[in-house]
Amino acid sequence: MLRRRTRQGLSASPGLRAGVPRVRGRRAASWAEWVSIREQVLARAGWRCQACRVRRRLDVHHVVKRSQGGSDFDLDQLVALCRWCHDQTDAPYERGRLVVTALGAGEFTFEVVQRAVREPLKPGPTFADVGKNECD
């Protein structure tokens, strides 16, 4: 019988239950700190998505990702977004990506950036076409 090498379910993240920071390396908010930070950000936004103003399934989005120097503790870099808008922040540019820019003091600008889809390459000659000329 094959055994799994990766842990699944609750055993996959034992640090969350123990109050250990969620990510190693850069200091992350503990679970209790994150609950408080999340509530502050959502309350500042009036419990609405700051991009589309709906009141459903709100997430807190890091404008600058933690892996790129962002912080859990800089409230000016955290924005309240509904799940759909949050998904659009990582969407492909062909579909339209929501770009969030922090202005400071809890204010943000939102822009949908869309790049044109590249034209597919025209098919070249196939093996059957090689050696044929137009006159035949």
pLDDT at 6 over 60: no
Residue in the block written with tokens 């790129």: 68
pLDDT digits (tens, 9 = 90+) for 105-121: 889 999 999 876 666 66
pLDDT digits (tens, 9 = 90+) for 15-26: 555 555 554 556
- Distance between CA atoms of residues 26 and 42, nearest Å: 24
**Tokens for 105?**
């003091």
98 strand-pairing partners: 112
- Distance between CA atoms of residues 63 and 61, nearest Å: 6
Q: Residue 2's pLDDT is what?
A: 55
**Tokens for 114?**
């869309």
pTM for the whole structure? 0.65
